[in-house]
A = this chain, B = another copy of it.
Amino acid sequence: MNDVYVVGVGMTPFGKHPDRSAADLAAEAILGALDDAGLRTVDIEAAWVGHVYQGMAMGQRGLGAAGISGLPITNVENACSSGSTAIYEAATALKAGAYDIVLALGVELLSTKFRGALAPDESDIEAQIGLTMPSVYAMRARRHMEQYGTTPRMLAAIASKNKFNASLNPLAQFKKPVTVDEVMAGRLIAEPLHLHECAPVSDGAAAVILVSGKKLSQLGSSRAIRLVASALRSGKLEVGLPDMTVEDLTWRTAEAAYQQAGLGPDDVQMAEVHDCFSIAEATRIEGLKLYPLGEYPARVERGEAGLGGRLPVNMSGGLLGKGHPLGATGVAQVIEIVKQLRGEAKDRQVPGAKVGLAHCRGGKARGVEGTACTVNILTI
């Protein structure tokens, strides 16, 4: 199988763009990635496009707006893991030797589709009767508190860290740092989660250009970053009531990725993880086995996950700070890792990092409808 490299990245600012179309956002991200790679629109041989709510043929419309048409384009959906699934599919095709230069795009325009929070999917009967995402994650937070002595302030520290990182990211939705006290003083959305601990409604697009090792040696890009692992797994049918604080899906996906990469949790030097809520960052990081179960929130409070800490997490600001345009999220996570590994992350730069991991998880919180999880690992 062929090696896979990222040679170009581009994204729009994340935030509210009600005056723009999803295709317009997509085009900006694509043209930015091409510019970054030093490639032209005609160089793209195939594309995978992740989104959830943008209707039929989003990819064809988005690429068309960038002046790219005629090639094989596949739209993919895996809830909040849609963008990272696009990367997984693009990488699979490069490994097959089917193409040498491909595009993975994620895009979502939510602000014109939902007033306030996203409505649950019509197939999601539990959510229809009240078990919405904030309530699910609030229960997980309560359980984490009960089981490990986690405090609301520790969870607030996760949100504060991510909002601070976002304040250093010119493309983030939120530009203002928020202290732990300010998080705690915020409105409760679902106890113990306050407003700043819940991901916002966002619009945006993000694109990466991936090439085969063979093509890379022709292009000779010195800024290429290797995608050493790309794994996708789905939720499992469960019997009985599992421990809500344990992310079996995240671990099964990470295990596959670690194996592909020939690396383990100890090798990971920074991570972008799916912090749709403050508690989610904790259960993801623990699910990835980057910290023992129950330990992460206390470590954040001690500064270990900050930009200068032992293991920086969500350097970009994460979903809480950078924003969460569903389809674009997984691609933007990989972009942050690429920028960090290139040494181009400016005020957010983690010095000397050589291995970074991006984790996404979409769908319902549990069971077979815990839909999809992806783990991408990148190295210099």
Q: Could you tell me the distance between the alpha carbons of A235 and B60 in the complex, rounded to whole angstroms?
A: 8
User: A74: which of B60, B71, B73, B78 is its contact (CB, 8 Å)?
Assistant: B78
Contact B232 A72, beta carbon cutoff 8 Å: yes
**Which B residues are CB-close (under 8 A) to A85?**
74
Which among A153-161, A180-188, A366-374 touches the partner chain? A366-374
Contact B60 A368, beta carbon cutoff 8 Å: yes
Instruction: Report if A347 contacts B (CB, 8 A).
Output: no
Given contacts A70-B252, A74-B89, contact A237 B95 (CB under 8 A): no
Which among A49-57, A202-210, A308-316 touches the partner chain? A49-57
CB distance from A32 to the nearest CB of B (A): 20
**Which B residues are CB-close (under 8 A) to A368?**
60-61, 63-64, 69
Instruction: Report if A173 contacts B (CB, 8 A).
Output: no
User: A72: which of B95, B97, B233 is its contact (CB, 8 Å)?
Assistant: B233
**Which B residues are CB-close (under 8 A) to A264?**
none
User: A96: which of B63, B96, B123, B232 is its contact (CB, 8 Å)?
Assistant: B96
CB distance from A19 to the nearest CB of B (A): 16
Give this chain's copy count.
Answer: 2
Contact A369 B57, beta carbon cutoff 8 Å: yes
Instruction: Report if A266 contacts B (CB, 8 A).
Output: no
Given contacts A1-B96, A235-B60, contact A76 B76 (CB under 8 A): yes
**Which B residues are CB-close (under 8 A) to A55?**
121-123
Given contacts A57-B369, A96-B93, contact A75 B74 (CB under 8 A): no
Instruction: Report if A179 contacts B (CB, 8 A).
Output: no
User: A89: which of B77, B89, B252, B371 is its contact (CB, 8 Å)?
Assistant: B89
The proximity string for A residues 103-129 relative to B, scoring 1 for CB distances below 8 Å and 0 otherwise, is: 000000000000000000111100000
Contact B57 A371, beta carbon cutoff 8 Å: yes
Given contacts A55-B121, A368-B64, contact A234 B363 (CB under 8 A): no
Instruction: Report if A349 contacts B (CB, 8 A).
Output: no
**Which B residues are CB-close (under 8 A) to A252?**
70
CB distance from A377 to the nearest CB of B (A): 16
**Which B residues are CB-close (under 8 A) to A363?**
56-57, 60
Instruction: Report if A236 contacts B (CB, 8 A).
Output: yes
CB distance from A291 to the nearest CB of B (A): 24
User: A64: which of B63, B71, B237, B362 is its contact (CB, 8 Å)?
Assistant: B237
CB distance from A327 to the nearest CB of B (A): 12
Q: Name A55-103 residues within 8 Å CB distance of B.
A: 55-61, 63-64, 67, 69-79, 85, 88-89, 92-93, 95-98
Contact A78 B96, beta carbon cutoff 8 Å: no
**Which B residues are CB-close (under 8 A) to A58?**
123
Q: Which residue of B lies closest to A65 (CB)?
A: B368
Q: Which residue of B lies closest to A93 (CB)?
A: B92
Contact B74 A76, beta carbon cutoff 8 Å: yes
Residues of A near any B CB (own CB < 8 A): 1, 52, 54-61, 63-64, 67, 69-79, 85, 88-89, 92-93, 95-98, 121-124, 231-237, 252, 362-364, 367-369, 371-372
Could you give 26 example pairs across A and B, Cβ below 8 Å? A1-B97, A1-B98, A56-B77, A56-B79, A56-B123, A56-B124, A57-B78, A57-B123, A57-B362, A60-B234, A61-B123, A63-B234, A69-B237, A72-B232, A72-B234, A73-B78, A73-B232, A74-B76, A74-B78, A74-B85, A74-B89, A74-B232, A89-B89, A95-B97, A96-B97, A96-B98
Nearest 7 CB-CB pairings of A with B: A96-B96, A64-B368, A72-B232, A57-B371, A70-B236, A75-B77, A95-B96
